[in-house]
Structure formats: C-alpha cells, structure tokens
Amino acid sequence: MLIRFEQSVADSVLSSALSAYPNEAILLLRGKVEKEMILVNDVLIPPLATHGRGFSDFRGIMLPMDLRLVGVAHSHPSGVLRPSTHDLNHFYGRIMVITAYPYQSYSDIGVFNSHGERLPHEIVPDQNPQEDKEFL
Ligand SMILES: [Zn+2]
C-alpha cells in the first residue's frame, strides 16, 4: 500500500502542527482509495477540536459520516515519530498520520497502519481541478 499526499495536504499537516505547538493538532484526512494506493487530497478540522485537546481526548463520536475519510493525522510535540499504544487503540480509518516536532520538513511526517507499521508515502503535486476531488 502506497500513500500519496497532495503537497497542500502535507503542508497543512505541518503548518497545523506548528501552530498548535506545544499542544497536539488533529486533522481529518480525506481522499481516494484505490487498490494499492491511497491519495490524500483534502484535510478537515474535526468538529469540536480545539487547541489544548490532544489526540488522547479525541473520540470517534465526533466524526462526521464521510466516506471519503481515510484516516486521522495528529502531531507529536514530543518529537517521537511513531504511534503510542494509546494511538493504536484509537485507530480510525485506514491510515494514521503522525507529525513529529519540529515539523520542519516532509520527513517529519510518518504514515502507519493499524498495527503501527510504517507505510511508504510520497508527496505529489496537487491534482486540480476541484471537480476531480468531488468525483468519487
Ligand atoms: Zn499520538
């Protein structure tokens, strides 16, 4: 399974982590799922998410019913680029994305499956137009 992030998504993940620091940032990831590939092309701020509420306070009950949700991204102000046991117990969707402090480059982003195994990912240019994103 290869994960592709549109560049604007990767940038949003890094910038939201940076602006939430020293708290955790949480973003919902939307995209398209294909056989051996997931393209993440949109991010959403989850309902009720506020700075100061970490992923540990985040509960699936707040999630909208949205078939395009492929997973959740959250930041680790500790700088540890791997999921905690708690994270894995609250795995939602197909992928878990973790951004580790200092949130400076794409190498501070890691993608994991529900077993905590790292998945390969790459950053691709944004694929406009908007109609394409709405088509599923
Ligand atoms: Zn975590």
C-alpha–C-alpha distance, residues 90 and 13, integer Å: 19
Residue 103, CB-side half-sphere exposure with 13 Å CA sphere: 26
The confidence score (pLDDT) of residue 46 equals: 78
Q: How far is the CA of 135 from the centre of ligand 1 (A)?
A: 32
pLDDT (tens digit per residue) in 46-71? 766 555 556 656 655 566 667 789 99
Distance 58 CA to ligand 1 centre (A): 11
pLDDT at res. 50: 54
| Known active-site residue 24 | yes
